Structure 1
Amino acid sequence: MADTRPLPHGYSVPVHRSLTSPILLAGAPRLATIVNGTLAAALGLGLQLWIVGLVFWIVVQGICVFAARRDPQFTDVLIRHVRHRGYYAC
């Protein structure tokens, strides 16, 4: 049987969406964006391959944004997937 009594005043609190959504930078998770930017800067500045670094950043950032639209926490899942061994792995 469901309890149909009204809740007392102050019992329920509205939770804003910004408190529950993950932090995204440029549409991708923060970790992925920082790693992507660091690698692109290493290509562009360290190896002096400016065009390659820029193209790398655009392509990888686009892939990260695409994956983040499907699952905003895909980096956490990917890290967990890499850490765990396969059950049937020899």
Structure 2
Amino acid sequence: MLEGYEIPLHRSLAEPILMAGAPRSAAIAIGTIAAALALGLRLWIPGLMVWGVGHSLAVLLARSDPDFLAAAIRSARHKEHLSC
């Protein structure tokens, strides 16, 4: 790096986008599934349980790695190289 040159980097460019502690895409997917159960199928208690458990799990996983969803999708697409 050259002396005397600095580039300001906004915090929003480096931090992940979270909704209530869970990654945005995971929160939207979990909310959509819970809403389909609760509103579409009129299963209110299971819908709330799916939302509560799913969102809590996403928040716990996001605390260790905010990009866990992208890593899980990427690893599911690749074949296992070390399998017998």
Structure-2-length-normalised TM-score: 0.89
Runs (4 or more) in structure 1 with deviation over 2 Å come to none
Indicate the residue corresponding to 2:78 in structure 1: 84
Deviation by residue 1:22-42 (Cα, 9 ceiling, x = unmatched)? 100111111101110010011
Gaps of 5+ in 2: none
* 1:28 corresponding residue in structure 2: 22
Hey, what does 2:45 align to over in structure 1? Answer: 51
Alpha carbons of structure 1 residues 48 and 89: separation in structure 2 relative to 1, 3 Å: same
Q: Which residue of 1 aligns with 2:56?
A: 62
The residue matched to 2:32 in structure 1 has which SS?
helix
Give the Cα–Cα distance (whole angstroms) in 1 for the partners of residues 6 and 82 of structure 2.
Answer: 47
Identity over aligned pairs, percent: 51
Q: Which has the larger radius of gyration?
A: 1
CA distance in 2, matches of 1:14, 1:88: 43
Query: Deviations for 1:15-63, whole angstroms, at most 9, x for unmatched residues?
Result: 2322211100111111101110010011101111001100110000000
Aligned residues: 84
TM norm structure 1: 0.83
State the Cα RMSD in Å: 1.8
Q: Which has the higher helix share?
A: 2
Structure 1: gaps (5+ residues): none
